[in-house]
Amino acid sequence: MALKAEALYPRSVSRAVHSPTPGLILGLIVTLAAVVAYSGYITVQIAGLRELQNNLVDRNRKDSLQLLRIQGDLNSLALAMRDMLDNDEPYPLTAYSAQFQRIRTDLDDAIRREAQVAGNSRTSAQQQDLSSYMTQFWYAVDRTFELARNGREKEARVQIQLSLQSRQASLSAAVARLLVQNNENEEQAGEHIRQIYDRVGRQVYLFLGATLIAIVLTSLYMIQFNRRLFAQLATLSEQKSELAQKLIATQESTLRYISRELHDEFGQILTAIGSMLGRAGKHAPEGSTLRADLQEVRDITQNTLENVRSLSQALHPVMLEEAGLEKTLDWYLPTVARQAGIHISYEKSGTPFVVGGNGAVHVYRVVQESLNNLIRHSGTKEAWVRLRYLPSRLEVEIEDRGKGFQGQPARQGIGLVAMRERAELLQGSLDLLHPNGSGTLVRLTVPKDKQESDGR
């Protein structure tokens, strides 16, 4: 019974399934490239932010501290000049010389430090104006104290009022402008930093969005691929079951045909030969060698006839169709026990129900294959067969205490595969167990309604 390959494996299924590996590798490369590019971008932004903070913000703060120090010294000078003009203390103007010298020393140090940290934020004109104002102020201070030392305190006070205070005010104004400029620079730097943070934040969201999109696309691709793959596997599974049904049906049909040919054709021929030998033996002389030979040949023919009938029953018991599963097992189990030289304990329980048709054939084949495996591989001479009629199912167990599978279930032969296929055809299940740590328990369970429908 030939089966066309086109019917079993259509083009849509027989095509090679394209592996998703190239697409996944490409997606991984793109993702890694995006991560590397984004990491580089973040690194550059952070480096720029660090440079901005170090070179501008920190320097502005240090510069502002020095400017505040200068402004404090200028305020101290203003207070000292006010005291000198008020003339409330009984001290000459020269008494303030030491205080002015101390303030001058501190101012020189503050201006030097401020020039070091001002950096590029200070123009040369601004720096020159500050230096010029300071030089002119100290020149006027030296001139004032020179007048005071020469006893011309009145002229010295006029110098303070007309020159020193105005120059101190100019210095204070210049320092105040520099402080304002530093504040503006800090505000600009803060705005620039905020822009960097905002830009980086947007890039983070964009990167996360792109990553999520890549994950979703990859997941959708894998889901689609798996759906196609599982659809093809389902189709192949259906075709496998269909092929198994056809092969089992072909096997049973072939075995049934051979069994009937052996029983009918060869059986009738051997029966006729035996009858002819019996008639020929009657015509031979009593006690002659020919008569003994004919009787011996007739016995051989009879033994051959019995062997042919046994073989016919083993291939396809006619009792399955005539008496049903239970009667067939009642005959088969003692027969195989006698032929194989083993002891089979046979137990039946439950209320019997009809098991006929294909269901009876499949259950019988499972029992037959299980006992054949037991005889060939278990290494034991004892077996247990249990037939249970349960309210909702039929359960058959074949157990031995032999070697079992020795931890190698992958070496299951075609017989076990055929047993599982027969169980699936009956919409039942086949379990291979090791209940006592050794040996094998084959349990076939099939639903009752399936058997009754097959029986009808």
- Give the C-alpha separation, 404 to 430, whole Å: 16
**Which residue ranges form the domains of the chain, and what is each CATH number?**
21-218 (1.20.120), 317-455 (3.30.565.10)
pLDDT along the chain (456 residues), means of 10: 39 52 75 78 75 69 85 88 78 84 89 78 74 85 87 86 86 86 80 80 82 83 85 82 75 75 74 80 76 81 79 72 83 87 90 81 88 86 91 91 60 73 86 80 85 48
Return the pLDDT at 15: 47
Return the pLDDT at 374: 87
